[in-house]
Amino acid sequence: ANGDVDLKMMQVWPVRVARPVKERLALDRPLITGQRVIDTFFPCAKGGASAIPGGFGTGKTVTLQQIAKWSDADIIVYIGCGERGNEMADVVEQFPEIEDPRSGKKLIERTIIVANVSNMAVSAREASIYMGITIGEYFRDMGYDVSLMADSTSRWAEALRDISGRLEEIPAEAGYPAYLADRIANIYERAGRAKVYASDERFGSLTLLGAVSPPGGDYSEPVTTTTLRFIGTFWALDSQLAYRRHFPAINWLRSFSRYLEVASKWWGELDSTWDATRGQALRILEEAAEIEETARIIGEKALPDDQRLVLLVAEMLREGFLVQSAFHEVDRYCSPDKQVKLLKLFTDFYNTVRPLIEQGIPIDQVRELDVIREIMRLKERAGNEPIDAARNMMLNEIDELAKQYEVAEA
């Protein structure tokens, strides 16, 4: 009556069909998660697609929950697809209590949870990921940066296999349907950054992070190998690291990121030497992995001092940078600024000590420096002031050591 028209926010949309956009755009900035190993070494771009495969107990769920809590996305869609019910209960219990570091509001206010746990219907499990992605696209079309966690895509693929079996379709590898690759591609290809349909110029992004649970941690099974073809970041969880209580258990030798160029530009604005520092830190970790093989056979003491220095700095990097506690008040979130300063301190330590080792100072004397323990504890100290203090302490102690051995400073 009177020419009034009811306009509703609700839109009806088939979940298996991607929502249209005006134009798909190149990815231009990283998703900052507050997790050092991810942000620094294997970054994911906003609008990118990532997979986090790992066997039982390697920390997939906790890692995804950490990203859901601390990433700088505007909206979080968390899909519990076929995993344990208590894990979903944890999310529902914790998120209303945690404060978003950017807005100061409670995390639950920006989070949508699609609960579809293992004791629910198989057909609903198969639909849950599509539903979550469609909800994500709805908010992307409003101009938000959306981050979607699917835990886990393996359970979704198993649901697909069950339904396919009941429909009496011809099975392919490991009993999965022949169209498995096509369905996985449909999911990951819905990620991206886009110019959306709106009256004003509006841009949004949908980032997809999928956990993969390969049986027995076997990365050669169909879901993992197929997923690898469609993603830009691969965070390989390692059961050996998890058994050593190294969390997040992301293996720096097996993981990769195709978004480094995007990340380099963004981090380069914070610190122009970021690329070189990151590269050197990774080289130290890779070199240490090779040296460790020899050290196991002949013992560390038999190695030359320059190689023992590499092992020392790699251990410092592992314990003081890569390991991050999800339950520590300070360490659970690490700001980009702190990440840059912290990483630079480790490489500067290596670059300052190496000339002294080459000039004959024994590595055992370097190991006894108090600053080493101080540097490894910095991740648990709030703010950047302790890092500056540790840098001064490092330079003073190394200076004293050099004078003690009457080595001219390089």
Same domain, 296 and 155: no
Cβ-count burial of 258 within 10 angstroms (0-12 exposed, 13-18 middle, 19+ buried)? middle
> Is the same domain home to 41 and 153?
yes
Mean pLDDT of 312-339: 96
- Whether 381 is in a domain gets the answer yes
Same domain, 241 and 276: no
Domain end position, chosen among 201, 224, 258: 258
Same domain, 251 and 287: no
For position 267, what pLDDT does the model report? Answer: 97
Nearest 5°: phi and psi at 79?
A: -105, 115
Residues 303 and 254 grouped into a single domain? no
Percent pLDDT > 70 in the chain is: 99
**Which H or E element spans position 193?**
strand 192-196
pLDDT of amino acid 4 = 86
User: What mean pLDDT do residues 208-229 have?
Assistant: 94
Which tokens in the block code for residue 179? 């169209």
Residue range 75-105, pLDDT digits in tens: 999 999 988 888 889 889 989 998 887 888 9
**Do 241 and 289 reside in the same domain of the chain?**
no
Task: Out of 193, 227, 258, pick the residue that ends a domain.
Answer: 258
- Residue 123 confidence (pLDDT): 87
In a domain, 223, yes or no: yes
| DSSP-derived pairing of the beta strands 44-45 and 30-31 | antiparallel
In the chain, the number of structural domains is 2
Please give the average per-residue pLDDT across 58-66, as a whole number: 93
Do 323 and 244 belong to one domain? no
Residue 1 confidence (pLDDT) above 70: no
As a whole number, mean pLDDT of residues 60-64 equals 93
Distance between CA atoms of residues 176 and 184, nearest Å: 12
Task: Check pLDDT > 70 for residue 410.
Answer: no
pLDDT at residue 140 in the model: 97
Give percent above pLDDT 90 in the chain.
83
Q: Could you tell me the CATH number of the domain that includes residue 188?
A: 3.40.50.300
Residue 46: pLDDT over 70: yes
- Give the tens place of pLDDT for each residue, 271-307: 999 999 999 999 999 999 999 999 999 999 999 999 9
Buried b (16+ CB within 10 A) or exposed e, 343-358: bbbbbebbebbbebbe
SS3 177: strand
Range of the structural domain that residue 151 is part of: 23-258
Helix (H) or strand (E) holding 211: strand 202-212
Question: Do both 330 and 194 map to the same domain?
Answer: no
| Longest distance between any two alpha carbons in the chain, whole Å | 95
Q: Among residues 230, 258, 286, which one ends one of the domains?
A: 258
Residues near 150 by beta carbon (within 8 Å), at least 6 away in sequence = 79, 81, 129, 132, 156, 187, 208, 209, 210, 211
* CATH number of the domain encompassing residue 387: 1.10.1140.10
Q: Identify whether residues 276 and 385 lie together within a single domain.
A: yes
- The H-assigned helical ranges of 238-384 are 239-243, 260-270, 274-298, 305-317, 336-358, 363-367, 370-377
Whether 68 has a pLDDT exceeding 90, the answer reads: yes
What is the per-residue pLDDT across 148-175, written as a single tens digit (0 to 9) for each? 999 989 999 999 999 999 999 999 999 9
| Residue pair 331/325 in contact by the 8 Å Cβ criterion | yes
Task: Mark whether 277 and 251 lie in a shared domain.
Answer: no
Enter the tokens of residue 105: 């509001």
- Is residue 180 a part of any domain in this protein? yes
Q: Both 164 and 236 in a single domain?
A: yes
Classify residue 348: in a domain, yes or no.
Answer: yes
Q: Compute CA distances 129 → 85, 156, 189, 209, whole Å.
A: 16, 8, 13, 11
Distance, in Å, from the CA atom of 106 to the CA atom of 108, rounded to the nearest integer, reads 6
Does some domain include residue 298? yes
Amino acid, res. 392: N
Residue 11 lies in a domain: no
CB 229, CB 54: distance < 8 Å: no
Residue 395 covered by a domain: yes
pLDDT of amino acid 5: 86
| Whole-number Å distance between alpha carbons of 266 and 260 | 10
Could you report the per-residue pLDDT of 101-152, keeping only the tens digit for each?
788 899 999 999 999 988 888 888 889 999 999 999 999 999 999 999 999 8
What's the pLDDT at 126?
Answer: 87
> 403: which residues sit within 8 A by CB, 6+ positions away?
none
Together in a domain, 104 and 228: yes
Q: Would you say residue 265 lies in a domain?
A: no
Tokens of 90: 């944890």
